[in-house]
Amino acid sequence: MIRSLTSGISGMQQFQQRLDVIGNNISNVNTTGYKSARVDFEDAFSQTVQAASPASGNSSAVAGIQIGSGVSTGAIRNQFTQGAVTRTGVQTDLAVNGGGFFIVKDPVSGSEYATRSGDFRIDQNGYLITNTGHRVQGFTDTVAPGNENLLATRGDLQINMGTPPSTLTIDPDATLSSYDINPEGIVTVRLSDGSQYIRGQVLLQGFSDPQALMKEGGNLYSGLANGGPVGANGPVAPGSNGLGTVQSGALELSNVDLASEFSSMITTQRAFQASARIISTSDEILQELVNLKR
């Protein structure tokens, strides 16, 4: 009877945890770049009443007898499937079509994080940053058009005039008039005198085991080394190494499927009720046992 009580309690605890995960998924249905999570259950440790034994010349094999002690949570896995991409018309909004993460750095601590949320903006110094001030990482070189292969210096990406390439004739009084970011992450700036050149490149990082990344809040993931970064030299150009491309003026939406989440909520609620009924039934039987002696 005690075993059934323990099993019922473990069921209630684990299904409550699953409800917590479902509730978090639903609450983030409109969070940019959010990846939904799911709970994987596994059976708990079983008590062995009789060990199995192999067959011999004079006897058959004896099956083991084990009684389980309930359920436990094996893993809470993030589902890194592609979310829908929606147009915003804001140039600094970037969406990843395919695999890969943006890498951003905290300018104070120097810590780096991965994110799928591309709702960036440009600060007063021209740095491309997140809403919390983390700077987007990329190539920061300034090169003439057609010399993308010369991009090599990684750092905090700035969208400004920088130092124009010496091979171009630039009006000393020219100012930055516009810029664009192509699917390979190349940032091209245009000046008021009609000249243009490359002012860096947004980079992406792939991971061999993204499940090892840890959510830090603010749409950020830490533990980049644990995720198994793909490539020996850090982030690479979008569209290479099997990574996706970058779409400017768009954002990746949450990949939460509301229909699936509500369906899971119903089945989890019923499973929670069934576990509670196990405890009620066990209590009734224990009461009958106690009442045998009157």
Q: Are residues 73 and 101 in the same domain?
A: no
pTM of the model: 0.89
Q: Are residues 95 and 76 in the same domain?
A: no
Q: Are residues 121 and 146 in the same domain?
A: yes
Does 54 reside within a domain? no
Give 167-184 as a 3 state SS string. Answer: CCCCCCCCCEEEEEECCC
Res. 59: pLDDT tops 80:
no
Give 49's pLDDT tier (boundaries 50, 70, 90): confident
The rounded distance, in Å, linking the Cα atoms of 63 and 294 is 41
Q: Which of 67-76, 98-107, 205-214 has the least mean pLDDT?
A: 67-76
Q: Is 188 exposed, middle or buried (0-12, 13-18, 19+ CB in 10 A)?
A: middle
Which domain does 73 fall in, by range?
2-49+63-80+256-290
187-218 pLDDT, tens digit per residue, is 999 999 999 999 999 999 999 999 999 999 99
Average per-residue pLDDT for the chain? 93
Does 278 reside within a domain? yes
Contacts of 151 (CB under 8 A, 6+ apart): 139, 141, 143, 198, 200, 201
Res. 1: pLDDT tops 70:
no
Contacts of 273 (CB under 8 A, 6+ apart): none
Does 17 reside within a domain? yes
Q: Are residues 75 and 139 in the same domain?
A: no
Q: Are residues 136 and 45 in the same domain?
A: no
The rounded distance, in Å, linking the Cα atoms of 229 and 103 is 11
Q: Are residues 157 and 239 in the same domain?
A: yes
Contacts of 185 (CB under 8 A, 6+ apart): 138, 201, 202, 203, 204, 237, 238, 246
What are the distances in angstroms from CA 163 to CA 158, 171, 185, 276? 12, 13, 20, 69
The rounded distance, in Å, linking the Cα atoms of 134 and 103 is 9
pLDDT of residue 294: 66
Q: Are residues 125 and 233 in the same domain?
A: yes
- 192-223 burial, b at 16+ Cβ within 10 Å, e below that, comes to eeebbbbbbbbbbbbbeebeebeeeeebbbee
pLDDT of residue 69: 87
217-265 pLDDT, tens digit per residue, is 999 999 999 999 998 888 999 999 999 999 999 999 999 999 999 999 9
Does 58 reside within a domain? no
